[in-house]
Amino acid sequence: MTSFKLNYEAVKSGTLPPISLSLHESYTTAIYSDTDLQAELIDTLLHNGEITVFNRKEGLYDRLTVMDNVTFYHKWFGCSIPLPEILVMFELQMCAKKRLRKCSQSEIARVYYAKYFMMDTHPMVFQEPIHGVDIKTINTFINMLKKITDNKTPALILVSNIEHALLLSDVAYKLQEKGLQKLEVDTGEKDESIPEAGSAATLATTKLFKIPAKVEDKVILFDPMEIDYIESHEGKAMIVINHESFPLDSTLAEIEKKLEVYGFYRCHRSYIVNLQKVREIITWSKNTYSLRIDNQVKSTIPLSRTKIQGIQDMFNLK
């Protein structure tokens, strides 16, 4: 199979801009946007008639068991992969005899993944595929994406969470009213412009230090220890505390130098994390990693492959 071209004009009645994008067979593409733009994009894709959008909302049988659902679709789509292998691939063997209506949200999501995989459509477009599911299920979806690209099928992920876009894709875009903007996805190659934490930091004297962020007509001063992490947003740094974001008049590179001494670490091209707030290091099957933050919303942010050793050294992990 070959690449698939998305090419749409602006919709007169909406805010969706013109889109021209190639979905390549050898890697996964993500489009991050707010929910309104995402809805317009999905309407446009469906109106085209050539694309099915997988959204985990319909097409399963609640009264049947997991095994019955998977067996039905295995026969319906003429899947050549043996049924037991499908069950293992999607981590369904332990809940195979459970009726779907008694399954957890994550188990149901994995049944949907199995169904979509067996459909073998071209391209494959997923809407919010890992929203509200557990780590095992996210891992299962990442494994499925690898098999999809191995089968030379273009895959597109539509999400409203930038962390999900960076985690699931090889190439990611942000969709705004002014158009598509490419996001920086860490390729694992060492970026010489980003200094390693502690390389030139001096712990001699720590003076009183606050980080100013301007919100409307006010300037808010943040103690570094309040901050969960800082992310890049359109070239500017954004302080994130729980679910709230505050803009800085700085780039990540500028703020990184000021915060190293306070235990902050550049864990990804687009993220600086407060190491005191890190609760978990999550390893995914795609040789990718995430950090779970100890805050109210249990945020997860990407961890670059080139930074995993640095994190392990800082926490004295073997």
pLDDT digits (tens, 9 = 90+) for 1-17: 446 777 777 655 578 88
Rounded to an integer, what distance in angstroms lies between the CA atom of residue 56 and that of residue 35?
16
pLDDT at 64 over 60: yes
pLDDT value at residue 205: 38
pLDDT band (50, 70, 90) for residue 103: very high
Please give the radius of gyration of the chain, using alpha carbons only, rounded to the nearest integer: 22
Taking CA atoms, 182 is separated from 30, 117, 240, in Å, by 10, 27, 22
pLDDT band (50, 70, 90) for residue 67: very high
SS3 50: coil
Residue among 241, 232, 218 nearest 266 (CA): 232
Instruction: Give percent above pLDDT 70 in the chain.
Output: 89
pLDDT value at residue 217: 74
pLDDT value at residue 266: 93
Rounded to an integer, what distance in angstroms lies between the CA atom of residue 148 and that of residue 241?
36
pLDDT at 102 over 60: yes
pLDDT value at residue 12: 59
Q: Are 29 and 58 in contact (CB under 8 A)?
A: no
Residue of higher predicted confidence among 13 and 251:
251
Rounded to an integer, what distance in angstroms lies between the CA atom of residue 107 and that of residue 66?
9
Beta strands in the chain (DSSP E): 4-8, 19-23, 28-32, 53-54, 124-127, 155-159, 171-176, 179-183, 211-215, 218-222, 229-233, 236-241, 244-247, 264-268, 271-274, 278-283, 289-293, 300-303
pLDDT at 199 over 50: no
pLDDT band (50, 70, 90) for residue 189: low
Q: Are 236 and 243 in contact (CB under 8 A)?
A: no
